[in-house]
C-alpha cells in the first residue's frame, strides 16, 4: 500500500510538472508545498475496518521465527498456540480452540484435509508464504461454520509492478533432527501475465529429546541416545500461481501438490514393546509404522470490477489422500492377511469441491455492502485392515450479507447475517471379525449385536444462523474495537460416526450420531495505542457454548482388544474467557523491546473441569538491536504451570526458555542475500508442551536447536529492445 500511495503521489506531481513546462515562462508561479507524510499501510487499514482482532505476521517476524513449521511460527503471536504432533508437524490453536473450529484459507479457499485429527499435519508448503493475517474470534460470517474460532489467511504472492524475471532460493538447516530443506522459486511478469512456480524438498531424521525414557500405557520405554526412533520423514511440494489481468478483469489459477511421509514413534503405537525401540543404527530411515499424505489443490478465481461493483467467483477442487501403514496385526483369529497391501492399516481419501461467489457494492465512499454464497461437497472413501472412520458424504451451502458504514471519520460500524444449511450421510459398516471374536469370548447376544456395528447409517440435516455486530472507534493514536457474534458449526463425520482405535491419540474414539450442531455466543473488545516510539494493545474475549462437542473419557473399557478406555464425543455447556497483551517500545536509538502474553480460561460446565488441551498462561519478552539490515534478538519465553486440566489429562509444569536470533543481509546487487541464525532453547531445558499429543506419554519437547536460514532472491527487469 505504501509504494502504491507514493507512486500515485509521484504521478500526480510529475503530471503537474510536465504541464507547467508547457506554459509560458511568465505564467509560472512559485508554489511552496508543505511536507507530505505517508503513514498509512494495508495493515493499518485492515485493522481499522475489521471489527475483530487481527494479528499480522509480517515478513520480518516470519523470518525471525521461521522453523519450517507454519503453526509453530504463528505461535509466536499472542493468542495463537501450536498443537504439536511429535514428528515436526503441528496444528494451529486460536484462543484455546483448534482442528475443525479454525479455517486456514489459501487464496480464498479453506484447506480441507483430515484436519479433525491432531496427529494430522497441515498440508501446506511452509516456504510458500512469508506473511499471514490471523483473525481471532468468530469468522463464520464470511468463511462458514468451521471458522468459529478464527481464520488464518495466507497472503498470495505479490505481483511485481514492472515486467521482470524473478527467482528465489531458500535453504534451511535444523540441528535437532538433522533437517535439511531447500526451496526454489521462479517467476515472470510480462505485461498482463504473471506466473510463479515453486518446488520444495524437506528431509529430516529422528528427533532428539532431552530424556532417556517415555511412559506408554504405564510401561516405561527406554530411548537410545535420546532419539525418537522412526520419527524421520520427508516432504515434497510443488506450487504454481498464474494471474492474468486486463483492464477491470482478472483471472488467477493456483495449483499445488504437497506430499509428506513420516514415521510413527513405535513406542507409542499399538501394544507396548521395548524391543521395537532398539537402535537400528540409522536415524534417517522410515520403517513401519509410518504415514503418507498427498494433498492436491486447484483454485481458479475470477474478478470483475466496475465503478461501484465488483464480482468475485471461485471454483476449487481438493484431493486429500492419507494412509497409515503398520505391520499387519489382528486381534481376531478369523481375520486373514489382506492379499493386496497387507500392511495398510488405514486409508482416507477425501475429495472436496468448492464454488464461491461474492459481490462488493460501494453505495458511497463511506458505505459498503458485501453479499455472497458458497457451496461445498465432500466425499470420503476409506480402506485398510483396521477401522476408525466410516465413508461419508457432506454437502453445505451458505449465504451471507454484511454492511460496513463509516458514521464519522472516527467511527466505523459493521455487521452481517449468514445462514448455512448442510447434510451429512454416513455409510453403515458391520465388523464380522469382531462379531466372531465376541462370540468366541461368550459375550451376550444383545451385546454382540450392539458392538459388531462399527458405524450406523446416518443421514442428518443441519441449518442455522450466524451474525456479527461490531464497532471501531479511532481518534489519533487510539483504536477501540468491540463486537458481538453468534456462530455455529456442523458436527464433523468423525464426531458422528468414528468408532475405532486412534493410535495417534492413544485411545478408542467413538462418535455420537445424535449430536446437534454446535452453537456459541462470542464477544470481545480490544484497545490499542500507537505513537512514534510505543505501540500497545490489549484485548479480552468471552465465548459461551450451549453444546460444545468434545471427546469425553467414559470410564468404560473398550470391547476391542488392547484398546483401553473408551472416549466418546459428547456435548456440554462450556465457556472460554481470556485475553492478550502486547507492547512494542523503541526505547533508545536502535534498541527495541517487545512483550506479549496470552491467557485462556476454559470450563466444562458438566464436569466442572477445564476442557482438554487448554493452553497455559504464556509471556514473551524480546530485546532487539536493529541497524539497517542487521538485527539481534534475545527472547525469554515464560510458560506457567497448567494445573487446570480435563479428566485423564496430566498437569504440566511451567518453564522458562531462552531463544536467540541473528540476521543480516549481504548486499549483492541488485538483491540482498538474507542470512538468519537462530538458537531455540539455548540451555537445552527439559519441558513439556501441554498441547502436544505426546504429552500423554511423558515425552518432553525437543532440546537445543540450531537453525540456519539462507534466502537468495534474484530479479531483473525485462527491457523491450524495440521500444524507442
| Chain segment 26-59, per-residue pLDDT in tens | 333 333 434 434 444 455 555 556 666 788 887 7
Rounded Cα gap, residues 568 and 387, in angstroms: 16
**Parallel/antiparallel/unpaired status of strands 97-98 and 102-106:** unpaired
**What is the overall mean pLDDT for the chain?**
85
pLDDT above 80 (res 353):
yes
In a domain, residue 399? The reply is yes
pLDDT above 80 (res 117):
no
Residue 282 lies in domain: 2-717
Q: Say what the pLDDT of residue 380 is.
A: 94
What's the predicted TM-score (pTM) here?
0.86
Q: Say what the pLDDT of residue 144 is.
A: 81
On whether the CB atoms of residues 662 and 682 are closer than 8 A, the answer is no
In a domain, residue 723? The reply is no
On whether the CB atoms of residues 84 and 67 are closer than 8 A, the answer is no
In a domain, residue 164? The reply is yes
In a domain, residue 92? The reply is yes
Cα angle 260, 83, 678; round to 5? 80
In a domain, residue 543? The reply is yes
Q: Which tens digit of pLDDT belongs to each residue from 474-513?
A: 988 999 999 998 888 888 888 998 888 776 566 788 889 9
Average pLDDT over residues 521-535: 92
Confidence of residue 10 (pLDDT cuts 50, 70, 90): very low
Q: Which tens digit of pLDDT belongs to each residue from 285-344?
A: 898 889 899 999 999 999 999 989 999 999 999 999 999 898 887 777 788 888 888 999
Tell me the CATH number at 150. 2.40.170.20
Q: Say what the pLDDT of residue 596 is.
A: 95
Q: Which residue has the higher pLDDT, 128 or 3?
A: 128
Confidence of residue 272 (pLDDT cuts 50, 70, 90): low
Lowest mean pLDDT of 271-275, 360-364, 502-506, name the range.
502-506
What's the total number of domains in the chain? 1
Q: Which residue has the higher pLDDT, 120 or 460?
A: 460
In a domain, residue 724? The reply is no
The string of DSSP letters for 172-200 reads EEETTTTEEEEEEEEEEEETTEEEEEEEE
Average pLDDT over residues 526-548: 93
Q: Say what the pLDDT of residue 311 is.
A: 96
Q: Which tens digit of pLDDT belongs to each residue from 392-417?
A: 999 999 999 999 999 998 999 999 99
Confidence of residue 119 (pLDDT cuts 50, 70, 90): low
* Surface-to-core class of residue 18, CB atoms within 10 Å of its CB (0-12 exposed, 13-18 middle, 19+ buried): exposed
What is the chain's Cα-based Rg? 27
In a domain, residue 252? The reply is yes
On whether the CB atoms of residues 254 and 277 are closer than 8 A, the answer is no
In a domain, residue 418? The reply is yes
Amino acid at each position: 500500500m505504501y509504494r502504491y500511495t507514493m507512486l500515485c503521489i509521484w504521478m500526480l506531481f510529475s503530471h503537474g510538472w510536465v504541464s507547467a513546462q508547457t506554459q509560458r515562462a511568465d505564467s509560472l508561479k512559485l508554489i511552496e508545498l508543505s511536507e507530505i507524510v505517508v503513514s498509512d499501510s494495508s495493515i493499518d487499514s485492515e485493522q481499522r475496518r475489521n471489527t475483530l482482532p487481527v494479528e499480522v505476521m509480517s515478513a520480518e517476524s516470519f523470518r525471525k521465527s521461521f522453523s519450517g513449521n507454519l503453526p509453530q511460527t504463528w505461535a509466536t503471536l499472542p493468542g495463537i498456540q501450536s498443537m504439536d504432533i511429535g514428528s515436526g508437524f503441528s496444528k494451529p490453536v486460536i484462543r484455546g480452540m483448534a482442528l475443525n473450529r479454525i479455517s486456514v484459507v489459501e487464496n480464498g479457499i479453506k484447506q480441507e484435509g483430515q484436519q479433525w485429527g491432531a496427529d494430522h499435519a497441515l498440508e501446506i508448503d511452509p516456504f510458500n508464504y512469508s506473511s499471514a493475517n490471523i483473525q481471532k474470534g468468530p469468522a463464520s460470517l464470511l468463511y462458514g461454520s468451521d471458522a468459529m474460532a478464527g481464520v488464518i489467511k495466507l497472503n498470495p504472492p505479490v505481483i511485481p509492478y514492472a515486467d521482470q524475471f524473478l527467482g528465489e532460493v531458500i535453504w534451511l538447516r535444523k540441528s535437532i533432527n538433522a533437517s535439511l530443506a531447500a526451496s526454489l522459486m521462479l517467476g515472470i511478469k510480462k505485461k498482463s501475465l504473471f506466473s510463479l512456480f515453486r518446488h520444495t524438498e524437506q528431509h529430516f531424521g529422528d528427533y532428539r529429546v532431552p530424556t532417556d525414557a517415555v511412559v506408554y500405557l504405564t510401561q516405561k520405554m527406554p530411548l537410545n541416545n535420546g532419539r525418537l526412533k522412526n520419527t524421520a520423514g520427508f516432504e515434497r511440494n510443488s506450487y504454481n500461481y498464474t494471474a492474468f489481468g486486463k483492464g477491470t478483469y482478472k483471472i488467477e489459477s493456483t495449483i499445488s501438490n504437497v506430499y509428506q511421509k513420516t514415521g510413527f514413534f513405535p513406542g507409542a503405537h499399538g501394544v507396548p514393546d521395548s524391543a521395537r525401540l532398539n537402535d537400528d543404527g540409522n536415524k534417517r530411515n522410515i520403517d513401519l509404522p509410518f504415514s503418507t499424505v498427498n494433498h492436491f489443490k486447484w483454485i481458479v478465481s475470477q474478478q470483475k470490477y466496475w465503478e461501484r461493483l465488483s464480482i468475485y467467483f471461485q471454483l476449487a477442487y481438493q484431493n486429500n489422500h492419507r494412509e497409515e501403514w503398520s505391520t499387519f496385526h489382528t486381534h481376531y483369529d478369523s481375520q486373514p492377511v489382506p492379499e493386496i497391501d497387507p500392511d495398510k492399516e488405514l486409508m482416507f481419501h477425501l475429495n472436496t469441491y468448492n464454488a464461491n461467489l461474492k459481490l462488493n457494492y460501494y453505495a458511497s465512499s463511506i458505505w459498503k455492502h458485501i453479499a455472497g454464497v458458497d457451496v461445498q461437497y465432500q466425499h470420503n472413501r476409506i480402506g485398510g485392515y483396521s477401522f476408525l472412520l466410516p465413508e461419508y458424504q457432506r454437502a453445505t451451502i451458505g449465504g451471507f450479507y454484511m454492511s460496513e458504514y463509516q458514521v464519522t471519520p472516527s467511527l466505523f460500524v459493521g455487521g452481517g447475517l449468514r445462514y448455512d444449511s448442510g447434510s451429512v450421510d454416513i455409510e453403515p459398516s458391520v465388523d464380522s471379525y469382531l462379531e466372531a471374536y465376541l462370540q468366541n469370548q461368550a459375550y451376550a447376544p444383545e451385546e454382540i449385536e450392539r458392538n459388531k456395528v462399527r458405524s450406523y447409517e446416518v443421514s442428518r440435516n443441519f441449518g442455522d444462523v450466524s451474525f456479527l455486530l461490531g464497532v471501531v472507534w479511532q481518534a489519533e493514536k487510539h483504536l477501540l474495537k468491540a463486537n458481538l457474534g453468534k456462530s455455529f458449526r456442523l458436527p464433523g463425520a468423525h464426531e458422528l460416526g468414528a468408532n475405532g482405535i486412534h493410535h495417534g491419540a492413544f485411545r478408542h474414539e467413538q462418535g455420537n450420531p445424535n449430536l446437534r450442531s454446535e452453537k456459541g455466543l462470542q464477544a470481545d473488545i480490544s484497545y490499542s495505542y500507537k505513537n512514534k516510539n510505543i505501540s500497545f494493545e490489549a484485548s479480552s474475549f468471552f465465548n459461551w457454548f450451549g453444546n460444545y462437542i468434545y471427546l469425553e473419557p467414559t470410564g468404560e473399557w473398550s470391547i476391542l482388544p488392547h484398546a483401553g478406555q473408551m472416549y466418546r464425543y459428547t456435548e456440554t455447556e462450556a465457556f472460554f474467557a481470556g485475553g492478550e497483551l502486547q507492547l512494542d517500545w523503541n526505547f533508545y536509538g536502535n534498541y527495541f523491546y517487545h512483550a506479549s502474553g496470552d491467557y485462556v480460561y476454559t470450563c466444562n460446565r458438566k464436569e466442572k473441569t477445564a476442557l482438554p488441551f487448554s493452553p497455559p498462561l504464556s509471556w514473551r519478552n524480546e530485546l532487539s538491536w536493529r541497524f539497517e539490515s542487521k538485527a539481534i534478538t534475545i527472547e525469554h519465553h515464560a510458560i506457567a504451570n497448567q494445573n487446570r486440566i480435563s479428566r485423564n489429562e496430566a498437569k504440566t509444569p511451567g518453564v522458562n526458555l531462552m531463544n536467540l536470533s541473528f540476521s543480516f543481509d549481504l548486499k549483492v546487487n541488485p538483491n540482498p542475500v538474507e542470512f538468519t541464525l537462530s538458537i531455540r532453547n539455548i540451555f537445552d531445558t527439559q519441558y513439556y508442551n501441554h498441547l502436544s499429543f505426546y504429552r500423554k506419554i511423558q515425552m518432553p519437547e525437543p532440546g537445543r536447536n540450531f537453525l540456519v536460514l539462507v534466502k537468495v532472491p534474484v530479479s531483473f527487469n525485462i527491457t523491450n529492445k524495440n521500444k524507442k
